[in-house]
Amino acid sequence: MAKLMSLREAAALVRDGDTIACGGNLLHRGPFALVRELARQGRRELEVVKTAGAYDVDLLAAAGCLRAASCGFVGFENEFGLAPSYRRAVEAGTVEAREHACYTVIQGLRAAAFGLPFMPAAGFVGSDLPTARGFKTVRDPYTGVEVLAVPPIRPRWALIHVPEADAEGNARIYGTEFEDVLMSRAAAGVIVTAERIVPTEELARQPELTKIPAFLVTAVVHAPHGAWPGSCYPLYGYDPAGVRAYLEAARSPETLQAYLAACDQPQEAAAPAR
């Protein structure tokens, strides 16, 4: 199967009810063009996994795509505040907030990536999180101390946006990797969206820069400005006006649909670099 495909074709691989892990962090290098396409296609009953989500998690909640979110934090921070659509959905009971610390999301992904039944986690003495999540404890055989046992988080898909990839799916990440590499190992399949599609020979000249190898990747999409209105280091920063435009549009289903239509695929490539 050819891996290089359109945004619409790649989004169609994600089925209703799937668990998706979204790469990036807050407004930085998230798979935002792909998330918009999932919303346009009307995907339903998704669970999203992310350490710290913002635009992606909020938009999926606003569009009615989510049944659950396993996140350490969801909010826009900076001058934008909380994630209003996500908050409304959780308060209304239409989205289940599966409470995590960022650390427990990471440990759950590690357990899946390493093929282990759980990963231990320390530092939760006095926290209500283990009780809220139903996490069990195990006794450290060396010290006798009880430690948290975080079960595996096994996404069906990892959605990763990168600056560069080849048509086979070898992908480079510049700057902070966040949990993207870990997600690519924990998930059953990976969909990569890339600012640039480069020849394999170019990547082969510096193979150490390839963070996600082709054999893990199911689909590759050429998506210039695919992290907009977020940033993609080192190519562009986040677009404050673009974030505000989304937050305003997400106030009602009608304005959200108009927003998604205005950001349809032909316009994705034309989104301004900031």
Question: 262: exposed, middle or buried (C-beta count within 10 Å: 0-12, 13-18, 19+)?
Answer: exposed
Residue 165 structure tokens: 């990839």
Question: What pLDDT is attached to residue 83?
Answer: 95
Question: What pLDDT is attached to residue 268?
Answer: 45
What type of residue is 236?
A: Y
CA distances from 76 to 176, 220, 245 (A): 19, 28, 13
What does pTM read for this prediction? 0.93
If pLDDT is split at 50, 70 and 90, which confidence band does 86 have? Answer: very high
Question: What does the pLDDT look like over 5-33, one tens digit per residue?
Answer: 999 999 999 999 999 999 999 999 999 99
Instruction: Tell me the mean pLDDT in the region 242-263.
Output: 92
Question: What does the pLDDT look like over 158-188, one tens digit per residue?
Answer: 999 999 999 999 999 999 999 999 999 999 9
Question: What does the pLDDT look like over 200-215, one tens digit per residue?
Answer: 999 999 999 999 999 9
Nearest Cα neighbor of 103 from 135, 145, 80 is 135
Instruction: Tell me the mean pLDDT in the region 39-55.
Output: 97
| Mean pLDDT of all residues belonging to the chain | 93
Question: What pLDDT is attached to residue 1?
Answer: 56
Instruction: Tell me the mean pLDDT in the region 31-45.
Output: 97
Residue with the larger pLDDT of the pair 129 and 54: 54
Is the per-residue pLDDT at 2 higher than 80? no
Question: What pLDDT is attached to residue 148?
Answer: 93
Is the per-residue pLDDT at 272 higher than 60? no
CA distances from 151 to 119, 123, 133, 180 (A): 7, 17, 11, 19
How many CB atoms within 10 Å of residue 86? Answer: 26
Question: What pLDDT is attached to residue 264?
Answer: 67
Name the percent of the chain lying above pLDDT 70: 96
Name the percent of the chain lying above pLDDT 90: 86
Domains and CATH numbers, the chain: 7-108+154-268 (3.40.1080.10), 119-150 (no CATH)
Is the per-residue pLDDT at 123 higher than 90? no
Question: What pLDDT is attached to residue 271?
Answer: 42
